[in-house]
Homo-oligomer: A and B are copies of this chain.
Amino acid sequence: MATQERWLTDDEQRAWRALIGIVVLLPGALDRQLERDSGLSQIEYGVLAMLSEAPDQTLRMSQLAALNDSSLSRLSHVANRMEQRGLIVRRTCPEDRRANIASLTEAGLAQVVAAAPAHVTKVRELIFDKLTPTQLENLTEVAAVIRAGLDPDKGPPPPQVE
């Protein structure tokens, strides 16, 4: 900062810079690999992957959004494009006619199956191959803690009353 008070300790500074670096660079790295190898964006891959694991390869839009940490609006646009391309189909849910369920098509399934290996390899290459078992443990713990505090969308968490 321009100002006096050192707002983060040196340790925190270093952690912060590295973390932001990851946050800024990782999506691009993954997107490029996916785009190049499979013509998919990261969220599209995520959608296909989640559907492929779901019972009947079908999920409600809202669930799909939650699973991908996406807003409903964003997912709706994405689903439009994917439907155009024939990767998924949507129909209104019979039990709740406000809701919309998306299902994998055969083409969609074929796409994920084809895309997965290279993607996983990239993930390994970028993350897990670099870590010792201890570091993996530490990552799992720390990432979970941070992630938990990021949920849509609590402001300052209510002070712990013990």
Contact = CB atoms under 8 A, between A and B. Distances in A.
A112 B142 contact: no
Contacts of A25: 69, 147, 150-152
A148 B142 CA distance: 18
A141 B144 CA distance: 16
A14 interface: yes
Interface stretch (A75-83, A85-93, A94-102, A130-138): A130-138
A120 interface: yes
A56 interface: no
A22 interface: yes
Interface residues of A, number: 63
Number of copies of this protein chain within its complex? 2
A55 interface: no
B131 A16 contact: no
Nearest to A151: B25
Contact of A1 (B3, B19, B53, B126): B53
27 contacts: A1-B116, A2-B52, A2-B109, A2-B116, A3-B116, A7-B120, A8-B123, A8-B124, A11-B140, A14-B140, A15-B128, A15-B140, A17-B147, A18-B144, A21-B69, A22-B146, A22-B150, A23-B23, A23-B26, A24-B69, A25-B150, A126-B149, A127-B149, A130-B145, A135-B141, A138-B139, A138-B142
